Structure 1
Amino acid sequence: MNQDAHHPDGSAESRRRKDWLEWIAGGIGLLLAILLIGTIGYEAAIGNREAAPVIRFEIASVEPAGQFYLVEIEARNISESTAQQVEVEATLTNGGRETEKAVMTFDYVPGQSTVKGGVFFTNDPRAGNLQIRPLGYSQP
């Protein structure tokens, strides 16, 4: 008995259509897999080649802390690059002369993030001029 006569889905034309659809779907899947592997390979080989992270430092607050003054520093990394061991120097001047200096280290500053830390001074930083500058970092 001929299957085509009883089952319209079993016709030769229907089977050919299914074969072509399977080949097209398989080709699209293969193309997507090749693109994905190529993208991953490219990122692994080239990666993020920014020369250095771009970190902006800002004084978040100055508060009395016992016999000291706590200066809270905010580090905002606006780049995609990550930095670790970011060393920062805070210098307090009064009347044009340096009165105190403090150094701190941010352990880890991921790309596109903000972290906070603090330094302590014996003199009130609000009464003088406080400057913050980065000293260095290392790549993770």
Structure 2
Amino acid sequence: MDTHHQKDKQKDNNHDEKNWLEWLVFGISLLMLLAIFGYLGYQVKTYNPSDPEVMVEARHDPSAESPNRYQVTVMNKGGTTAEEVIAEFTLFSNGKEKETSELQIAFAPKDSKREGWVIFSVQPTASDSVVARVKSFKKP
């Protein structure tokens, strides 16, 4: 009976041995985990928080239904998200303000671009320039 028990125990030990494929998968998984933790550690060490730097651009982008439409690009080059961005656009003619329009964007994450459109009632050709500026934003 004792020899029978030793043979069963020997069979169990043979099944516990890992083959080369299992070791290869284990090694690759371990290397991937170490690489991910190393990358995350590097990101934490080199992270430099900074305030949002929000900029805005506007270009005339007429359509058949909206000939007075401008395409707006809001960019955040800063290190954190800007919330509730309000951009203001003013049409000027001969140095005098003709019309003002606003665009609000809920979130502008860091290093992002958001697009929108503003529509004026005055013909853009009747104005000299469009001045675009960021009126306000919050830091969440």
Name the TM-score, length of structure 2 as normaliser. Answer: 0.60
Q: CA RMSD in A?
A: 3.1
- Counterpart in the other structure of 1:99: 98
Q: State the alpha-carbon separation in 1 of the partners of residues 76 and 125 from structure 2.
A: 26
Q: Which has the higher strand share?
A: 1
Aligned residue identity for 2:88:
E
Give CA deviations for 1:29-48 in whole Å, capped at 9, x if unaligned.
xxx8xx98xx6xxx6xxx85
In 1, the alpha carbon distance for the partners of 2:74 and 2:80 equals 14
- The 5 Å alignment of 1:44-123 reads 49-50=49-50, 52-64=51-63, 66=65, 69-123=68-122
Say if 1:115 and 1:57 are closer, same or farther in 2 by CA, change over 3 A: same
Question: 1:49-104 CA distances to partner (integer Å, 9 max, x unpaired)?
Answer: 42x31122111443145365111110111122111110011000111111100011
CA separation in 2, counterparts of 1:78 and 1:124?
Answer: 32
CA distance in 2, matches of 1:67, 1:49: 41
The 8 Å contact of residues 68 and 123 in structure 1, kept in 2 or not, is answered as no
Judged with a 3 Å threshold, the aligned counterparts in structure 2 of structure 1 residues 110 and 126 are, in CA distance, closer, same or farther, namely: farther
Give the unaligned 5+ runs of structure 2: 1-33
- What is the SS of the residue equivalent to 1:87? strand
Aligned structure 1 segments of 4 or more residues deviating by more than 3 angstroms: none
Can you give the 5+ residue segments of structure 1 that lack an aligned partner in the other structure? 1-31
Count of matched residue positions in the alignment of Structure 1 and Structure 2: 104
Distance 1:85 1:65, change over 3 A: farther
